[in-house]
Structure 1
Amino acid sequence: MAQDNGSHGDSARKVPTPERPGVPRWVKVFGLIALAIAIILAVLMLLGVEHGPGLHSRAGFATGSTPATLALASPAPALPAPVAGTAL
């Protein structure tokens, strides 16, 4: 039996393939937002704009000792010992 190699000429009908759906709109929107943020950050870095946590602190805490870091650095208060005969 002869092999069918698909050489039936142009008279053979091709089965139409279903079209793939396009990229969803939300993917395009998030992609554009991510691209815009990346471009803005690249421009800011190239211009040498200062950034970091020191820009958001008050003048008294410009050395990096913000109240949050001071609170984390201090030891936690000790919990009182449970009283005998009481259930939690």
Structure 2
Amino acid sequence: MSRTGHILFAILMAAVLASAIAVVYSKYLSRKHFVVLQELQAERERIGIEWGRLQLEESTLATHSEVEKRARDRLKMHLPQFDEVVVIRR
């Protein structure tokens, strides 16, 4: 083999080696991103469950009976007696 042939062979071997390293690195990044994707999907699932729980809690707390109960207990409010009602006319 001539000198030019040896140089060409060395260049091709370096290119094959660089290509192999690039494939391994690409596979590593792919796996790394897949793990991150799995973690994000699990977090999305947890957030979705929490959102559903909060919506259920909100609908429970917003019922008329619950609002009236809290107004009586916390704010000490009551329905006015007949003599406490004031009618304002224009």
TM-score, normalising length from structure 2? 0.28
Decide which structure has the larger Cα Rg and report it. 2
Higher-RCO chain (CA-CA 8 Å, sequence separation at least 6): 1
